[in-house]
Structure 1
Amino acid sequence: MEYQDKIELMQDIFKCIEEAVEIDSDDSEREDICKGLINMCEKVAKMPIRKKNREWTKVWREAKSEKGSFAFLTKELLISDKASYKNYLRMTETQFNFLLSFIKEDLRKQDTIMWSAISPAEKLSLTLRFLATGETFQSLNFHSKISKAAISGIIRMYVTLFGLD
């Protein structure tokens, strides 16, 4: 039963209480009203309250594959402006791919029914951006469209992998 239904049932109970107080009759009628009130209260107590489902992902993150920073890197900078690509990641595409070739199999995750895994290339570019700029996880979250918790795990994994800690 929904929250609104519970409110309506509680309003009915309060109306019955008002009637019981106003009735100036024998005790048997009051007893019947009180039993009815008790039954209604028991119904309300047994009704489960459904919690609102949490969203799996924020709406603005859903377009990550088209509008995230990695999509920007691969679709825009890499094609049209290699110098800006190098400035953004602090390495060339060749250097990036060389580094990625060593680690990508160790870091590959499987896609699930619920969501697509973050690719090793995207993880590496995010880590390089973090190391190059020192941006906060919150800032990286907004431009990469990856959650702060995932970013934290990615950075921690790469720092350990490269022995930077």
Structure 2
Amino acid sequence: MKKWLLSTIFGLSILLISIIPALADGPVKTLPGDITLAQAQKILTAAVKKAEEIKVPMNIAIVDAGGNLKAFYRQEDAFIGSIDISIKKAVTARYFNMSTRALGAASQVGKSLYGIEVSNNGLILFAGGVLLVDGNNVIIGAIGVSGGSVDEDESVAMAGAAVIK
């Protein structure tokens, strides 16, 4: 038993020693199929422009392919309560690979996804969360917008998403 334990510890030590230099090289580069910061900024710019056109202050969140927050913008006078909603709309769209409007329709009473909103620490099931799909038809993230009516939120999200295609 002692021999097995010692050999296991030795093996793990060798593994750690080989990994440490790789960690010193800095953060891992963005993988194919994940949104870049430059893309996120371009999407934010288009979404903010649309929000300014319709004169509704918005919170705009962009998540990467893993559902992690990549970029966020809160316009002056946008509702504080909409910060969390915009992020959750983006995460919800990405987790289920569909717009929050479509997921909301599928989660109504009597539908197959009824009750899904209580999963994943809470989901948002009304319009304003849209997938971000690149020119190769690969999902690279999602955008979530909150601050106006659900139709206004979705129009701002769609304006942002449109620039990535």
TM-score band by shorter chain is: under 0.3
Query: Which structure dedicates a bigger proportion of its chain to strand?
Result: 2
The structure showing larger relative contact order (alpha-carbon pairs under 8 Å, at least 6 residues apart) is 2
Q: Which has the higher helix share?
A: 1
TM-score, structure 2 as length reference: 0.25
Looking at CA atoms only, which structure, 1 or 2, has the larger radius of gyration?
1
